[in-house]
Structure 1
């Protein structure tokens, strides 16, 4: 199969959660396409490449996100792409026994963080007359995964927020979409019980985990100028599991 390539020369991409997993793969493919990448994460990437800058950022902290946005603009002049992947799975537990503080933290990182980052970065894109925001949701946000009520609720919120923001920016040249993967082979699965992961695999008609490159490939298209009439959309990556 022929590999699809993109030319993002001159583009500046912010990748939250870009030190590991799906975010790291997205950052790598942006770099391969010629973009300069700014990784916002709590921990630095193990192998930072040329044309990539790391900034320690807690996406649920408004002041940190504002400072990171200001520094990014000062260093690079603009932000063309925002690939928002920073997330936290939270405990695998039934709702009745779920620790309340852990539930709130899961929503704070996954949903409130999405709002904070988009609210801060979107005006920069509007002023430049171009931008692509791609939020990382989850199939859990569409189906409601048992024993992951906080994560499911947060990701459902990400989907709703993406649609709302997309409509607000529809008459600008800023497109806002989200991707909803099922289980993807990344380190975040280490936060979950093994039997829980096996259950997710069993639900997939393809009977396998997704690959981070498969997710990054669709993010590349959503970042491109070819994505001109798609906004407020949810792109499933579920191996056939998604039912709507």
Structure 2
């Protein structure tokens, strides 16, 4: 004679076996979709904080300029765009002031070393004004770092040299600078400024190019405000 506990155990044993088979059958499926789920969660955590707001870069604008261009290149487009806007705002604040050690865009104006006229955060430095169309440039690797010719997705498909020429035309046009001869364009990696123009030489920090090119067609999905 079997007691009630034995009967209950035996009665539910087939159901338990079916349930175990069902659960075990799920495991192969889980092995396929769990890695993808974990990757998605990892990307979401990287892109957003706990409130769903975009995570800002730990770099300040000046730290970005003093970093290697490779470090800046691999920041997200949204972060690079925000750093560019910050630099643009600082350029407006510094415009016309003494450029001794603080200006992001130092130039020689007359006999003074001053901060160049600023540009607004929405400025597209890859669209030169008519004033810069007649300028001639020399990119001479013998006088400094070589300008890379390989095209980069993070530069909107341009090479550093191509991006540097567009930015050079735009800024010199905005600043009203009309040199008599060709302007030498030097690559100034790690410089404490973005762009400097002294004695007919334009020195461009390549890290700034990766910030300037964050604005444009590719930046429209980065949440322009």
Q: What TM-score, normalized to structure 1?
A: 0.25
Q: Which has the higher contact order (CA 8 A, sep 6+)?
A: 2
Which structure has the larger Rg over C-alpha atoms? 2
TM-score by length of 2: 0.27
